[in-house]
Amino acid sequence: MNKDVIFPNHVGIILDGNGRWAEEKGLNRSMGHKKGYENLRKLSLYILNQTKVKYLSVFIFSTDNFKRSKEEVDFLMNLFRISFKSDSKVFEKENIKVIFSGVKDPLPDDVWSSMEYITEKTKNNTGGVLNFCLNYGGQEEIVDATKKILNEVINGNILLEDINKFNFSKYLYNDLPPIDFLIRTSGEERISNFMIYQASYAEFYFPSTYFPDFDENSFDEAIKVYNNRDRRFGSIKK
């Protein structure tokens, strides 16, 4: 890629289309999730090690996804349980720090244990940061942050007037920089409750490619689109 390319600091990806990818190939939807996770592992290493992106947040399971069939949910929970344990060695070796955004309940204990395991194994890594949004909802995150702030005010630790848009992020699940570029694969044009506070000034990109096929070349094409955007943040460029 051209050396003059500008890379976003924080990229968010909504991994959409795994199930449809499988169905169109005559496969069980779960096989699409397996293929999608394998692609995510490979793509995240490329993004955080081969480009200048420092933070990558990926939406892998929302709080609403528990509404899906028991078969599909059970497959995903097992995929997470196994993959986080085994991939801890990969991300530890590649110097990538893994964190999670979301809540514990009603995740199975063994899934939560795997999440804690990979977090602990990679906590001292100094390269890029991979943020898995699992059992996550953007509205829920804002509500939970508001409760934290309220408790801090009640306990006399902070003054209400001290809270502003610049320090509010400290009370979110993770204190991350704003999302610069948000990608949702599969052609769906909505963000579905994904990091709605962090994405307030993000550039959006909605490729029609299903996530299992969204590879390194697809990401490079997305970056070209990002470089053609005019980010003004409410001002006017002269």
Q: Is 125 a catalytic residue?
A: no
The span from the CA of 148 to the CA of 82, in Å, is: 32
One-letter amino acid at 137 equals: G
* Nearest to 215, CA basis, from 3, 13, 64, 4: 13
The burial of 70, by beta-carbon neighbours within 10 Å (0-12 exposed, 13-18 middle, 19 or more buried), is given as exposed
Catalytically annotated residue among 9, 18, 39, 65? 65
Q: Is 109 a catalytic residue?
A: no
The span from the CA of 202 to the CA of 195, in Å, is: 10
* Nearest to 88, CA basis, from 120, 57, 128: 120
Catalytically annotated residue among 2, 4, 9, 16? 16
Degrees to nearest 5, angle at CA 56 with 79 and 202: 125
Could you list the active site residues? 16, 65
